[in-house]
Amino acid sequence: MFYSPKSFMHRLCLMFCIGLTTFTWAQQDAQYTQYMYNTMSVNPGYAGSRGHLSVAALYRSQWFGLEGAPQTGTFGLHTPIGYGGMGLGLSIVNDKIGPSDETFVDFDTSYTIFLSGSANLSFGLKASVHLLDVRFTDLNQEFPDTSLQQNIDNKLSPNIGAGVYYHTDRFYAGISTPRILETEHFDSSSGSVAAERMHIYLIAGYVADIGPQVRMKPAILTKAVSGAPLQVDASLNFLFSDRFVLGGAYRWDAAWSAMAGFYIKEGMFLGLAYDKETTELGNTAFNDGSFEVILRYDFIKPAYRGLRSPRFF
């Protein structure tokens, strides 16, 4: 049987919303291909680690071509405070899929212990506010479900998170859980419950010089959450002449990705990514893959200007 893209997405959104009202959410955190340029979103210990004010904006369109497919917009900034090892960060994430619209406002703080040489160990805390809207009345229901008649308007819930982040000038690793509280968004007495699940992230990466003008950075991100398969993202990026970045990534049993970026000028970086799904959904004629763009600007301190190479993480 043939389905148009519109009817297919309506069915997908309907299944998504029925899942919300019947089960717990298995995996809710926004997904990024260029997570290596947006590390604070998963680990609050990263806040202030670049040594100067850093501002970034990211936009992701997933399953391009499907009406109501996920779209994510992120804005974040972080900076060290003084010279005592403190860091502060702020991020705003808006995530839309079909009739649901979620907004996260996160406040991050970190404290760094300066170890020997270039090694640093940071401990981070995240305080966040989650705003949820679900417009069930926007669904085109072929067979109306009585449990999907009442919209959810501006459902507000707080949360907290924590992370540990270690880095030198070549290597980094971290473990974190951005949202610890498993908040229920629906009334359990009615039999309709949707609860956030705690996500645990492991990240690591290493930068190596493989030529006079070439640096290589393999990196990995692992995400574990109850009720969903373990997700592993492995990437390999190359920095050429301290200006151009080319690379690729593989999300285990999910997608292949291509990445490119360049430094428009000192401190300003533009990154692009494209994902091609390896799942059954990726083989549909009306899914053109996922696209992502990030723009980041680092307010580099005068004392650090003229460095041989920009930070690669």
DSSP assignment string, 193-262: --B---EEEEEEEE-EEEETTEEEEEEEEEEEETTS--EEEEEEEEEETTTEEEEEEEETTTEEEEEEEE
- Per DSSP, helices labelled H in 125-196 are none
Do residues 245 and 265 make contact, with C-beta atoms less than 8 angstroms apart?
A: no
Report how far residue 57's alpha carbon sits from residue 88's, in angstroms, rounded to the nearest whole number.
Answer: 17
Number of domains making up the chain: 1
Question: What digits encode the pLDDT tens for the residues 206-254?
Answer: 999 999 999 999 999 999 988 788 999 999 999 999 999 999 999 998 8
Residue 36 lies in a domain: yes
Most confident range, picked from 66-70, 72-76, 144-148: 72-76
Q: By the 8 A CB rule, do 25 and 195 touch?
A: yes
**176-184: average pLDDT:** 87
Q: How far is CA 237 from CA 68, 179, 283, in A?
A: 32, 29, 27
- 190 has a pLDDT exceeding 70: no
In a domain, 23, yes or no: no
Q: Which residue has the higher pLDDT, 63 or 252?
A: 252
Q: Could you tell me the sign of the dihedral formed by the alpha carbons of 92, 184, 223, 285, in that order?
A: negative
Asked whether residue 139 is domain-assigned, the answer is yes
Q: Does the residue 313 lie in any domain? A: no
273 contacts 259 by C-beta, under 8 angstroms: yes
The verdict on residue 153 lying in a domain is yes
In 3-state terms the chain splits into helix, strand, coil percentages (rounded to 5) of 15, 50, 35
CATH of the domain at 150: 2.40.160.60
Q: What is the pLDDT of residues 21-31, one digit of tens each?
A: 433 344 467 88
Question: Residue 290 sits in which domain range?
Answer: 31-304
Nearest to 65 by CA among 14, 20, 4: 4
Q: Is the pLDDT of residue 68 over 50?
A: yes
Domain for residue 46, yes or no? yes
Instruction: Report the mean per-residue pLDDT for the chain.
Output: 82
Residue 2 falls inside a structural domain = no
* Residue appearing with tokens 């997933």: 62
Specify if 104 maps to a domain: yes
